[in-house]
Amino acid sequence: MALSRRLNQIDRMVTKHYSHIWDCCCDHGLLGMKLLERSAADALHFVDMVEPLMCELEAQLKKYAAPTDNWQVHCLDVAHLPIAQTPAEDSHLVIIAGVGGDLMIELVTKILANNPSRVIEFLLCPVYQQYKLRLALIKLGLNLEAEYLLRDNKQFYEIIHVTVNNDPARSEQLSPVGSLMWDFSQPEHRDYRLRMIEHYRRMQNNNPKAAEVVKQYRELK
Ligand SMILES: C[S@@+](CC[C@H](N)C(=O)[O-])C[C@H]1O[C@@H](n2cnc3c(N)ncnc32)[C@H](O)[C@@H]1O
């Protein structure tokens, strides 16, 4: 099945080889299958909590994956990824896409709390609450590797690649309103910024913090 623009862009942002890639909240596993096909990791893990979906996906993979492909299907809550059961030196990329920012905050927080000594990278593409997610990632001490803004099917998506990074010298600071992703020569980017300003302007009466968010979007160059 063809990947959406959004999933294709997430695939393009996987530029390194990892010991483990976790395609979390994977649904039908389209993104993970693409990554498996191009051997982006030693082991590709498909994770979702809906059992019938995971049984169907497992059957598909048994039928179509190459015999040399290393994959596993996990029917579980993403908060409980079995990262601790892997060798300490292994590298991990955790991809979470297609769920809200609130849930993402909960999942990333739990994964980090369960694996305090691991260096884990996250590739995140929330459907809502991008600003709130970014604030939480900053609070968790994660650093920016890359970010991308795109429009797919009339909806805008921010894709945020962050990492646990012990080396501040080679890390980029994450901004609550985005930094590297903006290219204001593109009309779509100007449009997205205006939408965000409008969204937080409407919230100002009920939420005093919204004025500060509006200011931050306005100050973007
Ligand atoms: C809309 S699909 C996203 C599919 C794909 N990642 C994408 O971006 O197109 C959301 C999936 O998240 C799964 N999900 C939601 N919360 C979860 C959790 N805590 N643990 C595992 N799966 C979860 C749901 O079962 C559903 O299949």
What tens digit of pLDDT does each residue of 47-65 get? Answer: 999 999 999 999 999 999 9
Query: 34 vs 24, 40, 76, 191, CA distance in Å?
Result: 14, 9, 21, 31
Same domain, 18 and 54: yes
Residues 44 and 115 in one domain: yes
What mean pLDDT comes out for the span 120-125?
A: 98
Residues 164 and 192 in one domain: no
Instruction: For residues 189 and 158, state if they share a domain.
Output: no
- The yes-or-no verdict on residue 165 having pLDDT over 80 is no
Beta bridge partners of 62: none
pLDDT above 80: residue 169: no
Q: Find the mean pLDDT for residues 13-34.
A: 98
209 C-alpha to ligand 1 centroid (Å):
30
CA distance 50 to 24: 12
pLDDT given at position 168: 65
Tell whether 140 and 63 lie within a shared domain: yes
Cβ of 94 closer than 6 Å to ligand 1, yes or no, is no
pLDDT surpasses 70 at 166: no
To the nearest 10°, report the CA torsion of 47, 49, 53, 54: 50
| Structural domain range at position 201 | 182-221
Rounded distance between C-alpha atoms, residue 118 and residue 164, angstroms:
8
3-state SS string for 92-130: EEEEEECCCHHHHHHHHHHHHHHCCCCCEEEEEECCCCH
Q: Identify which of 3, 99, 123, 150 to mutate to test ligand 1's pocket (most ligand atoms within 8 A of the CB).
A: 99
Asked if the model's pLDDT at residue 181 lies above 70, the reply is yes
Cβ-based burial of 25 (10 A; exposed 0-12, middle 13-18, buried ≥19): middle
Which of 24, 44, 46, 48, when mutated, tests ligand 1's pocket best, judged by the most ligand atoms within 8 Å of its CB?
Answer: 48
Distances (CA, A) of 22 to 37, 62, 80: 15, 18, 12
pLDDT value, residue 221: 81
Please tell me the distance between residue 205's alpha carbon and the centre of ligand 1 in angstroms: 33
Is 21 in contact with 14 (CB distance < 8 Å)? yes
User: Would you state the pLDDT for residue 170?
Assistant: 67
Q: Say which CATH number the domain at 141 has.
A: 3.40.50.150
Q: Quote the number of domains for the chain.
A: 2
**Same structural domain for residues 106 and 207?**
no
Q: Whole-number mean pLDDT of the chain?
A: 95
